[in-house]
Structure 1
Amino acid sequence: MTRGFSDISPTFFDAEAEPVALAPGPVPSYIRDHRKRLRARFMQGGAAAMPDYELLELVLFAALPRQDVKPLAHKLLEIFGDFNAVLAAPLPRLLALAGVGEAVACHLKVTEAAAARMMRARVLNRPVLTGWAALLDYCHTAMAHRSIEQFRVLYLDRKNVLIADEEQARGTVDHVPVYPREVVKRALELDASAFILVHNHPSGDPTPSDADIAMTLKVGDAAQALGLVLHDHLIIGREREVSFRASGWL
């Protein structure tokens, strides 16, 4: 049975509940010294000075305070690909892995949520069109590594300030249902003057499909009929994004 956060047991924050934790007693010196060295390197050089597996180790330290987490970090990267993909991995897939208990899964998802919230704070209630790079960073952080398609709408006021970022729908690995009427209806409810469509391609390739293009044109027509502006439609891939405006589809 798939577990969610509501099903977590009373041992949720008990690192000793992990299946491969060390027996009670002093933490071995090689683990303690290794952690001290990694923390020092991070404090001196930041994340840029560390490969993915070491940065992941730092995240895992708090979840497994008595365990050598290097093998688990390598295992997670081998399965999911890179640091960002590990953080964005679906909770059921994480919990299904040997060595990944509830404490580990929690720390990974909290780290993901913290990163997304920080990036969102850089764009919410600020002019979007003059902070385009920050907007793209936020969209990649929030969506690039999702395993299913997610459709979001960024609603803007008359000064192109982002006033709402809302998920409209989730779909499958290659499809998400979008209803133009609901998009423009929500814009009117928020007293928005413009909006930007954003969705991800779990395949990693942001090239729009014919259905993507057709849907965008329908939303654009619905917006125009009500005096709203569709500024852009962004498709987020693993390494890059596609802008409908820059590509000439809008």
Structure 2
Amino acid sequence: MTANRTFQEPPLPLFLDPEGDSDEAPAQPVAARPGERRGAAPSYLADHRARLRERFIAGGADPMPDYELLELILFRAIPRQDVKPLARRLIDTFGDFSRVLSATPARLSSVPGAGPAVVTELKIVAAAANRLARSRVMHRPVLSGWDALLDYCHTAMSHAGTEEFRVLFLDRKNVLIADEPQGRGTVDHVPVYPREILRRALELGASAIILVHNHPSGDPTPSQADITMTQRIQIGADVMGITVHDHLVIGAGREVSFRREGLL
């Protein structure tokens, strides 16, 4: 008779995402350290996450490199895996933290390891940042809060992959009453219809407007088409008694003001 054998179940891989969010190859099974619960994140990983959170709470985001800030977001999407490689891969792919958040879901999903939970978490943070920036300018005097307006425009548009044209509608006290996209186009063109912009200004009872569009190339230098289109809008606005305060072209980290450049 053979000796009694004790059946032992093979250990579960500790770094396997239970929701299947990561596209990375599963890590090799790792034996649990003394006192660790099998199937849970090992203590050294939990300690790393705790230390990173403590640093963020104590010192804020400014001293943290982009990949560590991304790690903090990815902790929620992938609870039992070392997310530093994915954070670095996202930065390498898109360039910096803000470009990661601004990337489209399709482009994010193309990065190995960035599954649906990761994409959702990143887009939630992007939406929160955009809403926070917008809340600082909506229903407030725009001309006295110009820096906040520029921050909002950069948050909303500077990293978009296609051109977008927006119009900010102001009342007679220069309070921003509406911010509306008027069109989206290709990487270097967006259709703009002056008649529709002015019609909408009349519907809202706006006394002034600010035109804003982005250049996905990163270079905010206005094209001749930009200048011609702005002149057409200004001519129509003058007839209707509507002031065109400015036309802002948003690029990568900087902008061009038509007013400042003498183009308005």
TM-score, normalising length from structure 1? Answer: 0.92
Alignment equivalent of 1:45, drawn from 23, 43, 59 = 59
Q: Are residues 176 and 124 of structure 1, via their aligned partners in 2, closer, same or farther at CA, if it must alter by over 3 Å? A: same
Cα shift at 1:15: 6.0
Quick one: distance in 2 between partners of 1:15 and 1:236? 42
Q: Deviations over 1:171-228 (max 9, x none)?
A: 0001101000010000001010100000011000100000001011011111111111
Which amino acid in 1 is paired with 2:20? A
Cα shift at 1:29: 1.7
Q: Deviations over 1:105-160 (max 9, x none)?
A: 00000100000000000000000000000000000011111111111000000000
| 1:155–1:192 Cα contact (<8 Å) kept | yes
Please tell me whether residue 17 in structure 1 is matched to residue 31 in structure 2.
no
Which amino acid in 2 is paired with 1:17? G
- Which structure has greater helix proportion? 1
Residue 7 of structure 1 aligns with which residue? none
Show structure 1 runs of 5+ residues with no match: 1-13
Please tell me whether residue 225 in structure 1 is matched to residue 239 in structure 2.
yes
Quick one: distance in 2 between partners of 1:55 and 1:73? 9
| Mapping for residues 148-163 of structure 1, pairs under 5 Å | 148-163=162-177
Residue 127 of structure 1 aligns with which residue? 141
Secondary structure in 2 aligned to 1:49? Answer: coil
Please tell me whether residue 211 in structure 1 is matched to residue 225 in structure 2.
yes
Please tell me whether residue 105 in structure 1 is matched to residue 119 in structure 2.
yes
Secondary structure in 2 aligned to 1:98? Answer: coil
Cα shift at 1:97: 2.2
Please tell me whether residue 181 in structure 1 is matched to residue 195 in structure 2.
yes
Residue 262 of structure 2 aligns with which residue? 248
Identity, % of aligned positions: 64
Q: Deviations over 1:19-64 (max 9, x none)?
A: 3477880101221111111101000100001010100111111001
Secondary structure in 1 aligned to 2:206? Answer: coil
Quick one: distance in 1 between partners of 2:43 and 2:73? 20
Cα shift at 1:16: 2.2
Quick one: distance in 2 between partners of 1:15 and 1:205? 44
Please tell me whether residue 28 in structure 1 is matched to residue 42 in structure 2.
yes
Quick one: distance in 2 between partners of 1:80 and 1:96? 12
Which amino acid in 1 is paired with 2:228? A
Cα shift at 1:69: 0.5
Alignment equivalent of 1:59, drawn from 65, 70, 73 = 73
Show structure 2 runs of 5+ residues with no match: 1-16, 30-37
Aligned residue pairs, count: 237
